[in-house]
A and B are shown apart, each in its own frame.
Chain A
Amino acid sequence: MAIIERPSAPATVPAIPSASLGALKRPVSTQHGWRSWLFTVDHKRLGLMYGATALFFFVVGGLEAVLIRLQLALPDGRVLNADLYNQMFTMHATTMVFLFVMPMVSAFANYFIPLQVGARDVAFPRINAFGFWAFLFGGIFLNLAWFLGGAADGGWFMYAPNSGPVFSPSHGVDFWALGLQITGIASLTGAVNLIVTVLNMRAPGMSLMKMPIFTWMATVVQFLLLFAMPVITVALFLLMFQRNFGATFFDVGAGADPLLWQHLFWIFGHPEVYILILPSFGIISEVLPVFARKPLFGYPFVVFSGAAIGFVGWGVWAHHMFASGLGPVSVAVFSVATMAIAVPTGVKVVNWTMTLWGGKLWFTVAMKFAIALIVLFTIGGLSGVTHAVAPSDTQQTDTYYIVAHFHYVLFGGAIFGIFSGMYYWWPKMFGKMLSERIGNWNFWLMAIGMNLTFGPMHILGLQGQPRRMYIWTEARAGEGFFNLAFWNLVASIGSIILAVGVLFFFVNVLVTARKGKQAPLDPWDARSLEWMTSNPPKEHNFDSIPTVGHLDEFFHRKYAEDHQSGEIRKVKEAEEVLAELERNKDAHIHMPSPSYWPIVLALGLPVIAFGLIYSIPVALVGGVIVVLGCFGWAIEPSTARDDEVDPPSAASAEVVRHG
């Protein structure tokens, strides 16, 4: 897509893609077919691909969780042996954190940040595409270990020396480490991309404090990613050198300190959990005002508390290490810092509650998920505060009480926020609304299932059941009816209900795709800029870039205050607002062109990784692919030159390719 102006040339002129390296010519822009997805640089398509892939891994991780719960439903479980159980909980967590929530965040961020700031795409569209493919290939690579000798089995935080060659002899940990390096590159490049987009490509008039709140939270997250990813990169390299090149970084016998791994991992790991939750905070900060028919209460407080969480989050990591022998001074310092970080989160909860207070509440499924987040995250946050108290954490750590805490904040928090976002933004992305009827089944089953699964884990933990144990026996289950046996069974039944609830979501997606009615332009009477586009948005997003005068710009274009009565009344419908943008449509719209190089470059990475595990020549081949990919990319302009002839109506004309 070179220029969206209608040339007077006849449509019979064939398209000639320009030569890039001679060997690979530029893909010609198409709107349909597999090529339009494989070589796209459009942030919306990439966002959709991130989302679809993330949901796939959600199911994978969920099945891994169900297997764990089946094993623990009854005493002397025989579903999984100890070795397989270790792989299962390691991969469940790794998949959920790195292959579901993080890419889901990328999905929303990629799709909506440019729309919310009034841009046509991100700052570096090809890097964006590269990031997606790197994530996909990295995620697949990670999971190949299942079929190649066993998956990683050292727990998702992979403590040394357990992770070393002695206790984890299969290649599982190598696949894990290299897979995460690959997906890590995607995260880092994505972070640079989105930060530059937000800082540099906002619509005229959109100061930072007029930016939609989701974009704010997502931007804080990108900064966290930018600075946290290198730390785990170091840790993973040290681990790989130990496992494959004889280094002894975490080998106590050689004089090493295993705490080095723990520090490096958790310096990354703690900002990581804020990376997981802040976007969902941003999503519900968008959803609650829309369905309460009130602006977000205390927008500046929500912004600054988000930034504060991002900031203070760097000073608390050793609260994951209270029982590791740090010593009283370190423990005390990190304990206090951890208590401090509850404050900005509390500020947010107050702001959300005050947003709801006095509003005309509309309980759509999106709204239900958002309100549930407030409740469930608060529960998880309260158990978190009890962990901050180091002496009590000494009892709680490595028990099911911790498992309960992080599932409440991650499932009740991050995941419920994601579902809220999906229901809220579905009409924008797909032009149809997910069924509210099926959605209610989805929501209630998930809510009930989630609480049945993770609620009892508080009790299990305080009664002494350690985490990561693959089996429990009747003899250790305690006395009385409501003993560990009872609560384990309840939790397992809860997990099945939860799984069914999730299934209803996919049913909803399918039913909507088949039978859903076209959604109106502005189904929720929304407030922010991304809604000032068609459903789904055109490839170039906005016909003319709007000039922004307010926070909640879209709302202010539809509603005005009556000077006499002070009442706020609707003065324009969404269709009129959009028509205005179309009338002033920009004459020249330059969009970045599709490209082969992102996927080619991304393909080189798992080849290198394979080579590092099995055969160095293979790694070198991968390296060559990467280097050639870089060269091809570097000399290719981001927008195809003007001398590329493109048929004027991009919609249906199939393009003839030469060469």
Chain B
Amino acid sequence: MNEQHAHEEHGMSNAGYVRIALILAAITALEVSTYYVDFGPLFMPALMVMMVVKFVTVVSYFMHLKFDRRLFSVMFYAGLFLAIFVYAAALSTFKFFIA
């Protein structure tokens, strides 16, 4: 019972979830549009931002991380940032990020 109460406190309504899903769909459409429309120098930054926004949105809302114990966020983001750091460093030694 405790658990159910807590869940309703932190959870969103179904309508809220549908709203988020529609936003994600819209961002996806925008992402795909970069394939057809020339964004110029904004191409990479726009795509990266959209990817990150979708990623964080799903993690924070669908996976509930925003409303849950901070411990979960720490565990997950620790793994994520470690992965980004380590692999970016490795790719750097291959001069991957140098144009």
A residues within 8 Å of B by Cβ? 199, 226-227, 231, 257, 259, 263-264, 267, 314-315, 318, 326-327, 330
Which residue of A199, A226, A227 is within 8 Å of B71 (Cβ)? Answer: A199
Q: Is the CB of A259 within 8 A of B94?
A: yes
Tell me the complex Cα distance, A510–B19, Å.
Answer: 69
Which of B71, B78, B90, B92 contacts A267, CB < 8 Å? B90
Inter-chain contact B82/A263, CB cutoff 8 Å: no
Is there contact, CB below 8 Å, between B85 and A314?
A: yes
Assess the B90–A263 pair: CB atoms within 8 A: yes
**Across the interface, do B82 and A257 meet the contact criterion of CB distance under 8 Å?**
no
Indicate if B13 sits at the interface (CB-CB under 8 A).
Answer: no
Report the nearest B residue to A268, measured CB to CB: B86
Q: How far is the CA of A226 from the CA of B79 in the complex (A)?
A: 9
What residues on A are CB-neighbors of B83 within 8 Å?
A: 227
Residue of chain B at shortest CB distance from A257: B94
Complex Cα–Cα for A326 and B91 (A): 11
Which of chain B's residues 11-48 have a Cβ closer than 8 Å to chain A?
none
Determine whether the beta carbon of B82 is less than 8 Å from that of A314.
yes
Of chain B, the residue at the smallest CB distance from A318 is: B93
Expressed in whole angstroms, the minimum distance between the Cβ of A207 and any Cβ of chain B is 14
**Chain B residues whose C-beta falls within 8 Å of the C-beta of A326 in the assembled complex:** 93
**Inter-chain contacts of B86 with A (CB < 8 A):** 231, 267, 314
Query: What 0/1 readout, one digit per residue, does chain B (63-99) give for beta carbons within 8 Å of chain A?
Result: 0000000010000001100110110011011100000
CB-CB < 8 A to A327: which residues of B?
93
User: Shortest Cβ distance from A323 into chain B, in angstroms?
Assistant: 14
Q: Which residues of A contact B92 (CB under 8 A)?
A: 330
The listed residue (A199, A227, A263, A314) touching B93 by CB distance below 8 A is: A263
> What B residues does A257 contact at CB under 8 A?
94
Contacts of A315 in B (CB 8 A): 85, 89
Closest to B95 in A: A327
Measured between alpha carbons, how far is A231 from B83 in the docked complex, in Å?
Answer: 9
Establish whether residues A227 and B94, one from each chain, have CB atoms under 8 Å apart when the complex forms.
no
Chain B hits for A330, CB < 8 A: 92-93
Inter-chain CA distance A227–B89, complex, in Å, is 16
Tell me, in angstroms, the Cα distance from A241 to B58 when the chains sit together. 33
CA–CA, A639 and B5, complex, Å: 27
Min C-beta distance of B63 to chain A, whole Å: 17
The answer to whether A227 touches B85 (Cβ under 8 A) is no
Q: What are 15 A-B residue pairs whose CB atoms fall within 8 Å in the complex?
A: A227-B78, A227-B79, A227-B82, A259-B93, A259-B94, A263-B90, A263-B93, A267-B86, A267-B90, A314-B82, A314-B85, A314-B86, A315-B89, A326-B93, A330-B93
Q: Return B39 CB to nearest CB of chain A, in Å.
A: 31
A315 to B90, CA, bound (A): 10
B70 → chain A, closest Cβ, in Å? Answer: 12
Nearest Cβ distance between residue B23 and chain A, in whole angstroms?
31
* B residues less than 8 Å from A267 (CB atoms): 86, 90
Residues of chain A within 8 A of B71, CB atoms compared: 199
Q: Which residues of B contact A314 (CB under 8 A)?
A: 82, 85-86
Q: Which 4 A-B pairs have the closest CB atoms?
A: A263-B90, A330-B93, A326-B93, A267-B86
Cα A197 to Cα B76 in complex, Å, equals 17
Q: Which residues of B contact A199 (CB under 8 A)?
A: 71
Q: Smallest distance from the beta carbon of B69 to chain A beta carbons, Å?
A: 10
Cα separation A314 to B89 with both chains bound (whole Å): 11
Min CB–CB distance A189 → chain B (angstroms): 16
Q: How far is the CB of A68 from chain B (nearest CB, A)?
A: 32
| Minimum CB–CB distance for B28 against chain A, Å | 28
- Minimal beta-carbon separation of A335 from chain B (angstroms): 13
Task: Give the CA-CA distance A227 to B85 in the complex, in Å.
Answer: 13
Q: Which residue of B lies closest to A195 (CB)?
A: B75
CA distance A444 to B1 in the complex (A): 62
Report the minimum CB–CB distance from B94 to chain A (whole Å).
Answer: 7
Distance, CA A327 to CA B95, complexed state (A): 10
8 other contacts beyond A264-B90, A315-B89, with CB at 8 A cut-off?
Answer: A227-B78, A227-B79, A227-B82, A257-B94, A263-B93, A314-B82, A314-B85, A318-B93
Q: A185 CA to B93 CA in the complex, in Å?
A: 30
Tell me the complex Cα distance, A330–B92, Å: 8
- Bound together, the chains give a CA A326 to CA B71 distance in angstroms of 38
**Minimal beta-carbon separation of A187 from chain B (angstroms):** 16
Closest Cβ neighbor of B71 among chain A residues: A199
- The residue on A at minimum CB distance from B90 is A263
Q: How far is the CB of A204 from chain B (nearest CB, A)?
A: 18
Bound-state CA distance A259–B71 (Å) is 36
- How far in angstroms is the closest Cβ of chain B from A476? 35
Task: Name which residue of chain A comes closest to B85, CB basis.
Answer: A314
Whole-angstrom distance between the alpha carbons of A318 and B93 in the complex? 10
Complex interface: chain A residues within 8 A of B79 (CB): 226-227
**Closest CB-CB distance, B78 to chain A, in whole Å?**
8
User: Would you give the shortest CB distance from A455 to chain B, in whole angstroms?
Assistant: 35
What CA separation (Å) do A315 and B93 show in the bound complex? 13
- Expressed in whole angstroms, the Cα–Cα distance for A494 and B83 within the complex equals 43
Cα of A377 to Cα of B89 in the assembled complex, Å: 29
Complex alpha-carbon distance, A226 and B75, angstroms: 11
The docked-state distance in angstroms from the alpha carbon of A259 to that of B90 is 10
Residues of B within 8 A of A231 (CB): 86
Please give the distance in Å from B11's CB to the nearest CB on chain A.
22
Chain A contacts of B90 at CB under 8 A? 263-264, 267
- By a CB distance below 8 angstroms, the chain A residues around B89 are 315
Cα-based distance from A226 to B85 in the complex (angstroms): 16
